[in-house]
Copies of this chain bind each other. A is one copy, B any other.
Amino acid sequence: MERILSSELSAHIGEHVLIAGWLHHQRPLSKLTFVLVRDRAGITQIVASGEAAAQFAALLPETVVSVEGRVVASAQAPAGVELVEPTLTVISVPVGAPTIALAAPVLQESLPTILDHAATGLRHPRAQATFAISAASVAGFRAALDAAGFTEIMSPKLVGGATESGASVFKVDYFGAEAYLAQSPQFYKQTMVGVFERVYETAPVFRAEPHDTVRHLAEYVSLDAEMGFITDYHEVMAMAREAVAGMLAGVGARAPEAVKLLGLTLPTVPAVIPEIDFVVAQGMIEAATGEKVVGEPDLAPAHERWLGEWAQANYGSDFLFVTGYPMSKRPFYTAPQAGRSAYSASFDLLFRGLELITGGQRLHRYEDYLAALSARGMTSVGLEGYLEAFAAGMPPHGGFAIGLERWTARLTGAANIRETTLFPRDRHRLTP
């Protein structure tokens, strides 16, 4: 008999079917045992009695089983259907009780314990749902950019030459020479604008930052886009809006059960996301809170939260663009605003009061790069391969980057970014 998934049971009421999965939980009552078997699509409730109940009772949680039985409608069953008259086959047995108690509605172990035992902890339905949402988000990102004529690129992660920032890089022994791990695909995605005009990449990036916070990782997945022939950075913002809307559409289409299981309400992306100028925002925050913020070069996390609440209160929006950050806080390739050269033609997108996207227009003239590097006391040594793109003629262009794990955390309400990373890497964690 061909195996079916838990999600397919309701189409087979009255029939005999075969399901397979992991023994998730069992609850023996006086005459009946309710058995839950977990597969990739969800959970099947099985009602066993007599000898069958005894067979289940002898099994450890996480035993891999297949069960043949008859499907019946049941108002009491979580999915509205259950399997009765089960015949059990054991496929594979665990060596002991699981290191993490997976039957709990929410895992009770500490986060470090859960992460140490990821091979088990990730099997919990809430973790499964979280990473289904993460995967659906990436698929939605790609679909939105594909639809807009972007081409996917795969840029190298092992890089030589000069770094973007000079600091916070992981060094690699490269056949006896020194390489480092790419902090972002920035140089490559800009270079590829010269080839495909519009490119994206969904790949890991590496930051050797010593931060040990709930929102920093040493390795994360960056959803990057870059586009040429723009007239100004608002075109980049409009594309970033499409990307986010695509990610939410991807989640809605590909992971509706995960959204339901986690009890999420997906946000709506306004057709035009509200925008506020950095300096104006500082003035508002100072006026409202009394804190001295005007003149500061960046927004503190508390100020981003304040702006998130302001956007919700004034526009009913979970999203807010902050534009025109001071040039001094942006990297050397950033373009200044026209006629306001101390401020950048760039933006952050706040999602529920947390910075989710950074983007903007880039310089595109070779001589502007030389001047920008020189003004920051940097040289073009080690950047020759990158600068050749501009020497060879580049259109006005810009782009943005989204941190996948941060997105998933904000969307699912996870308190710590490590909960939305399959196998997180931080200063203190390199395994499993």
Contacts and interface: CB of A to CB of B under 8 A. Distances in A.
Interface of A: 3, 5, 20, 22-23, 39-40, 60, 62-64, 91-96, 98-99, 116-120, 122-123, 127-128, 131-132, 134-135, 138-139, 142, 146, 149, 151-161, 170-175, 177, 179, 181, 188, 191-192, 194-198, 203-204, 206, 208, 210, 218-219, 221, 229, 364-367, 384-386, 388-389, 391-396, 404, 422-425, 427, 430-432
A20 B396 CA distance: 12
- By Cβ-Cβ distance, the 10 closest A-B pairs, closest first, are A385-B432, A160-B430, A94-B393, A62-B393, A119-B389, A40-B197, A119-B388, A135-B152, A95-B391, A160-B431
Given A118-B191, A156-B422, A174-B430, 13 more contacts: A40-B197, A91-B395, A118-B385, A119-B386, A128-B195, A131-B151, A157-B219, A158-B219, A160-B431, A161-B432, A175-B208, A175-B427, A385-B431
Given A131-B151, A431-B161, A94 B170 contact: no
Contacts of A386: 119, 432
Contacts of A131: 151, 153, 195-196
13 contacts: A40-B198, A93-B393, A99-B392, A120-B194, A120-B388, A132-B196, A155-B422, A157-B204, A158-B170, A160-B430, A170-B179, A172-B172, A203-B204
B392 A123 contact: yes
B388 A117 contact: yes
Given A120-B388, A171-B172, A395-B20, A365 B154 contact: no
A422 to B, nearest CB: 6
Contacts of A391: 94-96
B156 A219 contact: yes
Nearest to A188: B423
Nearest to A118: B385
Contacts of A364: 92
A97 to B, nearest CB: 10
Contacts of A154: 134, 138, 204, 221, 404, 422
A128 B197 CA distance: 11
A64 to B, nearest CB: 5
A366 B92 CA distance: 10
A195 B127 contact: yes
B388 A99 contact: yes
B64 A395 contact: yes
